[in-house]
Amino acid sequence: MMKNYKEEELKYLELLAEKFPTVQEVCTEIINLQAILNLPKGTEHFLSDLHGEYESFLHILKNASGVIRAKIDQTFEMRLTSDEKKKLATLIYYPEEKLEMIKKETKNLQEYYKITLYRLLEICKVVASKYSRSKVRKAMPKDYEYIIDELLHSDSDYNNKEYYYNQIIHTIISLDRADAFIIAISKLIQQLSVDHLHIIGDIYDRGPGPHIIMDELMKYHSIDIQWGNHDIIWMGAASGSAACIFNIIRICARYDNLDILEEVYGINLRPLTEFVMEEYPKKTAEIFSPKVSSQLDKEVLAKVQKAATIIQFKLEAEIIKQNPEFEMEDRLLLDKIDYEKGEIQIKNQKYLLEDTDFPTIQSQKPFELTEKEREIVSKLVKAFENSEKLQRHIRFLYDKGNIYKVFNENLLIHGCIPLDENGDFAKMKIQGKIWQGKQYLDCLEKIAREGYFGSKGSKEKKYGEDMLWYLWCGKNSPIFCKDAMKTFERYFIKDDALGKEIKNPFYRFAEDEKCCEKVLQEFGLNGENSHIISGHIPVKFKAGESPIKSNGKLLIIDGGLSKSYQKTTGIAGYTLIYNSYGLVLVAHEPFNSTEEAIRKETDLHSSKQIVEKVERKNICDTDIGVELKRQIKDLEVLLKAYKQGIIKEK
């Protein structure tokens, strides 16, 4: 009978037998896995384009895009007033802060604790009902694991135990552990309300708290990230790419966020500020005026922004010249300037410049860094490479992130799958070989990882760093998705048409359902319930634009969580919920503040739209289900081997 198994199969079965050493243990596990397959599919939560808006993000994360409030409404329906439901929801979102307020306002605190604990337990039972008892137990805080497990599985119909459960609640209150228990169970409700979180890119830039978002994501129980171009630029900076670093400094100065670099990531910018005050003595042109100004003198921010911009152009020119396959020669503009006349020639047309003060540019060698600029670049590269917190955050982006992800029959990508003018997959030459479609994205990700993890000083690492920059702004980048990043034109030339960045043809062709189906098939997705889920391009809701494209095959969920986009979009972001019944798109109105949400019990006002309703899905219909079925099959083979005597029980 030994001949029925290959040597490799026997080795695998022997390893599996170490975990399940008896027939009984194998049978128990098969029964357990078969039962899990028939549980409802867990809820997936999709967010995109967070752009440092940490307060809005944290609130959406805590309320699970309205999932928790919906559970409260369903559970208590007519038993609680609207105000009582609001108070309970706010407590679940912000238990520590809300409890402090409640304790100051409540006369009979013991009675409040008793009522609230029962209500929280009732909600917790509802959100825990779609999981196995084992999974719920693993999510529980260790200090209260036994007590919560007992209370969640209580049944007041059994009179013999009713006193037992009431006594547990009474003892929790009498021992002054009610606050800690309420906090613990509220956070458990938050965790169980969402099984898995998808971040569809752009955590960084514009808003003041990307680091706060990153800290929160690093604690999340189950997550994946699709890199956005505003994440890639930080990944490139942490890898040591000087061009990426000066893009970041320019953007941080523009949005008055230099404190993120200095105070959060410990990057010393003093040498740079001293440099700009010395090298840029004239008053800075209005075009470099920061979007907001509070932490630093407005003129200092403007000078830092301008100096970073010029250094950025010089560093980018070096990358472009060294990588002709990037086909970005049209971005070489400093040599097209007539510095005496203060004008530039682009495509046989001359334009006057909005700013003609270029103290660090040599007209005969416009792309050459000055000695002082080289010194500043060197110091800042080392500072970014040696920032412990930045490196920790970026390592997490690499650990949990990808350019794209296929998950439960959906293709997740921040931007697009690049297409050419004919609607075919765009071709890109990389190191002498032509790539397109899925293989192109796989190739890009491999190189992007070499840019960070490659050996310092190696050709592979240097090319990887250059590719990280290309992913930020290259014309065939799947996460930039435009023909060019017109930074120079937008700063220096007063011509909106010249500064327009044209979207990749993907966005035109993707209005056709057949195009989306072709893209999905490229990634092995053929099901009628498959979708492309992306962000990156703000959906102009107030202009009547819909995030649902191609009969629901493409969902673009960037609705403007970033405050800088909200005038254009008219809302404050889209999120997506994929539960066992289908897909629900949620549109959010602007979030005022955490303080107001706690004090006034105001939730983020959201409107929901069912994108797709399906017959209720179980875990057997998911990617996890596929893996569990494989495990069951392996266990059945092991069981057979035990029964045949090929593997001996221990």
The domain ranges of the chain are 2-39+623-644, 65-193, 229-488
pLDDT over threshold 90, residue 573: no
Please work out, in degrees rounded to the nearest 5, the angle formed at the alpha carbon of residue 381 by the alpha carbons of 375 and 387. Answer: 135
Tokens, residue 607: 């409107």
Q: What's residue 93's pLDDT?
A: 96
532 backbone dihedrals φ, ψ, rounded to 5°: -100, 125
Kindly report, residue by residue over 250-278, the tens digit of the pLDDT. 999 999 999 999 999 999 999 999 999 99
CA dihedral of residues 355, 358, 362, 363 (deg, nearest 10): 20
**Residues 6+ away with beta carbon under 8 Å from 404:** 226, 411, 412, 413, 441, 478, 523
Nearest to 384 by CA among 230, 265, 480: 265
pLDDT at 1: 43
Residues 107-128, mean pLDDT to the nearest whole number: 94
What pLDDT is attached to residue 102? 94
pLDDT tens per residue across span 162-190:
778 888 899 999 999 999 999 999 999 99
Amino acid 567 reads: K
Output the CA torsion sign for 505, 548, 620, 62: positive
pTM of this structure: 0.95
Residues whose CB falls within 8 Å of the CB of residue 81, separated by 6 or more in sequence, listed in order: none
- Which strand (E) or helix (H) includes residue 47? strand 44-47
CA dihedral 460, 462, 468, 470 (to 10 degrees): -110
State whether residue 552 is helix, strand or coil.
Answer: helix
Residue 461 confidence (pLDDT) above 60:
yes
Q: Is residue 622 pLDDT above 80, yes or no?
A: yes
| DSSP-assigned letters across all residues of 215-227 | HHHHT-SSEEEE-
d(CA 420, CA 475): 11
Tokens of 371: 């000695």
